[in-house]
Homo-oligomer: A and B are copies of this chain.
């Protein structure tokens, strides 16, 4: 509320805003490119890719609620996403024996193979898009982005657990 200047140059409070706008523009640029390629080469969307990636790491599958948390997609919308992927034969839903309210989704063999191919291509695209950024900057960004994420998570308004 008092003075916001450092060396008379920049308003400190504005730096956060500038950073956010930059981050938003950057991820939007990259996201659009990846979306375009995912669609044209694999007929997939980014949320679908994200959901499959979560299942790829979990051979035993995940409960839909857990999938919802990890992908940051609401329960209701996860149902829709999962349905489309199941229709495509990439994943399968199984009702748990222990607690019959619980549904577990897991990749089918076809889904696993398909995601493997897609993830390889995706990784190449990312590497290509970042090819002018040197490794030390990549590492720094990774760390700093993590710090940022933690900070944001701490200051969410909703009843998040973290």
Write the residues of chain A forming the contact surface with B, with a CB cutoff of 8 angstroms: 6, 12-33, 36-37, 50, 53, 72, 122-123, 126-133, 135, 137-142, 144-158
- Expressed in whole angstroms, the minimum distance between the Cβ of A23 and any Cβ of chain B is 6
The answer to whether A22 and B145 have CB atoms under 8 Å apart is: yes
Residues of B within 8 A of A14 (CB): 123
Residues of B within 8 A of A156 (CB): 29, 33, 129
- Expressed in whole angstroms, the minimum distance between the Cβ of A103 and any Cβ of chain B is 24
The answer to whether B151 and A144 have CB atoms under 8 Å apart is: no
Q: How many copies does the complex hold?
A: 2
Given the known A-B contacts A29-B152, A141-B141, are A146 and B22 also in contact in the complex, defined by CB atoms under 8 Å?
yes
The answer to whether B29 and A72 have CB atoms under 8 Å apart is: yes
The answer to whether B13 and A123 have CB atoms under 8 Å apart is: yes
The answer to whether B142 and A18 have CB atoms under 8 Å apart is: yes
Residues of B within 8 A of A155 (CB): 128-129, 131-132
Residues of B within 8 A of A31 (CB): 24
- Expressed in whole angstroms, the minimum distance between the Cβ of A115 and any Cβ of chain B is 14
The answer to whether B16 and A153 have CB atoms under 8 Å apart is: no
Residues of B within 8 A of A28 (CB): 72
The answer to whether A22 and B135 have CB atoms under 8 Å apart is: no
